[in-house]
């Protein structure tokens, strides 16, 4: 069978997340599989680099699937473009080595979190950025983010629903910048626990509002205590930006 790798962009607003649920439930995986399965009347299952939650977007989700189809990849991409709804687009497609697995082979993932920190929300990014009226101190947030970079036990920054054996993960970098009147937080890491990015952003927001100090973030990490996790930042500000292999 051929192994096909695709990079997919989607607006998660209407969906119950990436992962397939029961029939007819709106999921990204469900939509893509249903179109692919019709293409050649074979049952296609796609593997994502990971799940994205309800309401989370992606600029660069990566998936792969096995198929017996003899269609060229260009033809597959056109077919998907024609039959997928306009909020899911396959940006690139290629045939890859049989051993490529979009989840197991991930080297790192980059998430982008957008915050609209203006007094009144911006109309055109209202679905892709979280509006926070009260001014954030970016310098304090940058200082706090430095404690998170590196290999740490992120127990304090995971949802209690996370059931992984080890909570040790490595964050390669966090960059916080302003762009087009929005605050953009890029977080790159080799793996993320359930809700980890949104809880990190929630903690950085508390620092930006001076409810926590940057040093409190260090203490939170050391405490390894889920009950100390900050509020989970809203889904709509989050985007799976890039998956690296």
3-class DSSP assignment, residue 150: strand
Active site residue 53: yes
Nearest to 10 by CA among 41, 54, 46: 54
Identify the residue among 2, 3, 9, 140 touching a second copy (CB under 8 A). Answer: 9
Distance between CA atoms of residues 138 and 142, nearest Å? 6
Smallest distance from a second copy to CB 187, Å: 19
From 46-54, 89-97, 152-160, 226-234, give the range in contact with a second copy by CB under 8 A.
89-97
- E-strand ranges in the chain read 2-10, 46-48, 57-67, 88-96, 108-116, 130-131, 150-153, 168-179, 182-189, 238-244
Paired residues of 65 in beta bridges: 4, 46
Distance between CA atoms of residues 97 and 38, nearest Å? 24
**10 appears as a binding residue in the annotation:** no
Q: How many of the chain's residues bind a second copy (CB under 8 A)?
A: 20
From 19-27, 45-53, 114-122, 210-218, give the range in contact with a second copy by CB under 8 A.
114-122
Smallest distance from a second copy to CB 119, Å: 9
Establish if 39 lies at the interface with a second copy (CB under 8 A).
no
Distance between CA atoms of residues 33 and 138, nearest Å? 41
Establish if 134 lies at the interface with a second copy (CB under 8 A).
no
Residue pair 17/56 in contact by the 8 Å Cβ criterion? yes
Smallest distance from a second copy to CB 240, Å: 13
Select 39 or 149, whichever has its Cβ closest to a second copy.
39
Establish if 81 lies at the interface with a second copy (CB under 8 A).
yes
List residues near a second copy by CB under 8 A. 9-11, 57, 59, 77, 81, 86-91, 120-124, 126, 128
Active site (catalytic) residues = 53
Annotated binding site for substrate: 111
């Amino acid at each position: 069978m051929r192994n096909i790798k695709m990079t997919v962009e989607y607006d998660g607003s209407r969906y119950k997340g990436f992962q397939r649920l029961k029939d007819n439930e709106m999921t990204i995986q469900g939509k893509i599989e249903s179109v692919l399965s019709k293409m050649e009347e074979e049952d296609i299952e796609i593997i994502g680099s990971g799940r994205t939650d309800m309401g989370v977007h992606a600029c660069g989700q990566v998936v792969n699937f096995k198929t017996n189809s003899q269609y060229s990849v260009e033809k597959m991409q056109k077919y998907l473009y024609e039959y997928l709804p306009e909020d899911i687009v396959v940006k690139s497609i290629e045939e890859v080595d049989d051993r490529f697995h979009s989840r197991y082979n991930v080297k790192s993932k980059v998430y982008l979190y957008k915050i609209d920190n203006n007094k009144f929300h911006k109309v055109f990014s209202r679905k892709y950025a979280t509006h926070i009226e009260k001014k954030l101190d970016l310098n304090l947030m940058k200082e706090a983010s430095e404690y998170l970079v590196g290999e740490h036990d992120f127990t304090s920054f995971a949802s209690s629903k996370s059931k992984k054996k080890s909570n040790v993960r490595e964050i390669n970098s966090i960059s916080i910048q302003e762009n087009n009147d929005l605050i953009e937080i890029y977080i790159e890491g080799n793996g993320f626990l359930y809700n980890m990015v949104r809880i990190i952003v929630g903690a950085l927001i508390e620092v930006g509002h001076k409810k926590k100090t940057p040093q409190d973030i260090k203490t939170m990490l050391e405490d390894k205590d889920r009950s100390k996790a900050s509020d989970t930042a809203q889904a709509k500000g989050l985007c799976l930006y890039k998956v690296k292999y």
